[in-house]
Chains A and B, each alone.
Chain A
C-alpha cells in the first residue's frame, strides 16, 4: 500500500495537470449532465507548460518547461524540455519513459511505470468528468472568478499531497494553472500557455520519443 501510494503520486503532477487542462468547467452553475457533455467535445489537447517546484531547501524554485499532447482516445505525451529532457508516452495500456542523454534517447528503468498506468486510468475518469468515481480524491467547486476545482486526497496519498487546485482560465475548456500543495511547505505550480483544443497532430508523437 505504501509503495502503491508513493508510486501513484509520482505522476500526479503531470496527470492532474492534464486532467485539469482539458476539464471544461465554465462555471459552478453548470450541472453535471452538461459538464459531461462538454467533456465529450474534447478530442485532443496540445499545450506548453512551466512547472515551478517550490522546496524549502531551495531559495528559488526549480523551474521546468515542457509541453504535452493528449488524445481523448487514450494517448498522452508529457514532455519536459528543460532542465531534464524527458518524455512519458502513454498509448492505451502501454506507458514508457525516456530520457535524453549523451545525444540519444534512453528508456528509463525507473519504477512507477505500473503506477503511472494506474494514475492515467484515474485521470481518464476525471477527463470524462467522473470525479465522483475517484478512489483517490474527493472534489469541490468554487465558482470564482477564477473558477477553481479543489481535489483532496484520501488516506495514504495525503502523506504526500495535501491538495490539488485547478485554477480555470477565462477561456472555456482551458485552465490557467494547477497548484499542488504538499506536507512540509513544498508546492508545485504548473502554468499553461498556448493551449490548443482539438488540434490535430501526428499519432507517432505517442510512439517514439
Chain B
C-alpha cells in the first residue's frame, strides 16, 4: 500500500515535470470575418512613417532609465532606421535595416554589441513592420478576439490578438513566449499612443513607450 502510494506520488511528480516541458496548447481558431484580417494589418503603419517615442526601459523592477527613440520606416521596401538618444540628445545607437540586413551606423558602450543590435531591431520589427506574407492562420478565439498568426520557416510564430487589449506576440519554435507588445489606443496617424514591450527571453526587460510625435 505504502509502495503504491509512493509510486502514485512519483508518477504524479514526473507527470507534473513533463507538463512543464510541454508547449502551450495551440489556440483554437474559429472562423472570422474577412475584415478581421484588415484589422490585424491596421496595427502597423501602412506607408512610410517616422516617429519619436519617450522610452522607459525597465531592466529590473524599480530600476529604469529613460531614452528617446526615433524610428523611420517604409513597409513597402522593408526598411527601418532607428536612433536611440539620451534625454540630453546624445546618440547612443543608430542602425538601419534593409530586408534582413542590419547596418549599425553608431553605437556606444554598452549598446555596441551585435546581440543588442539584433535584439533592438527585432523589437522595432515586431512593433512597426507587418509580416510580409499573409497570415498562416486567422480567425476568432472562443471569447471573440481577432487572431492572426504567422509561422516562420524556423518554427517561430508571430501572433496578433485584438480584443479590449491589442497584443503582438512572438513565440519561439517551442511555443514559449519570447516577446509581447501591448498597444494602447488612441492611434495617432496610424501609430499607437502608448506601447509596452515585454521581453521574456533570453533576458527579461520592459520598454514603456509613449508616442511624442509621428508623421506618416
Contacts and interface: CB of A to CB of B under 8 A. Distances in A.
B32 to A, nearest CB: 36
A101 B59 contact: no
Given A57-B72, A59-B215, A84 B87 contact: yes
Contacts of B70: 55, 57-58, 62
Nearest to B71: A57
A75 interface: no
A97 B94 CA distance: 24
B64 A108 contact: yes
Interface in B72-108: 72, 81, 83, 85-91, 94, 105-106, 108
Nearest to B53: A83
A99 B83 contact: no
Given A57-B83, A58-B50, A10 B90 contact: yes
B64 A111 contact: no
A43 interface: no
Contacts of B89: 13, 51, 53, 62, 64, 188
B65 A86 contact: no
Contacts of B65: 99, 108-110
A205 B168 CA distance: 43
Nearest to B82: A57
B64 A106 contact: yes
Contacts of B64: 99, 101, 106, 108-109
Contacts of B59: 109
Contacts of A62: 52, 68, 70, 85, 89
Nearest to B109: A3
A10 to B, nearest CB: 5
Interface string A124-162: 000000000000000000000000000000000000100
B36 interface: no
Interface residues of A, number: 34
A163 interface: no
B56 interface: yes
A111 B110 contact: yes
Contact of B88 (A11, A109, A111, A182): A11
B21 interface: no
A44 interface: no
Contacts of A112: 86
A2 interface: yes
Interface in A40-88: 51, 53, 55, 57-59, 62, 64, 80, 83-84, 86
A62 B10 CA distance: 63
A110 B89 CA distance: 14
A109 B64 CA distance: 6
B157 interface: no
A78 B88 CA distance: 10
Nearest to A98: B66
Contacts of A13: 88-90
Contacts of A101: 56, 64, 66, 208
Nearest to B72: A57
A117 B129 CA distance: 41
Interface string A90-110: 000000000101000010111
A9 B158 CA distance: 39
Contact of B91 (A12, A83, A84, A186): A186
Given A57-B81, A99-B65, A108-B64, 4 more contacts: A57-B72, A57-B83, A64-B89, A86-B87
10 contacts: A2-B109, A13-B90, A51-B89, A55-B70, A57-B94, A58-B70, A62-B85, A101-B56, A110-B65, A110-B66
Interface of B: 50, 52, 54, 56, 59, 63-66, 68, 70, 72, 81, 83, 85-91, 94, 105-106, 108-110, 208, 212, 215
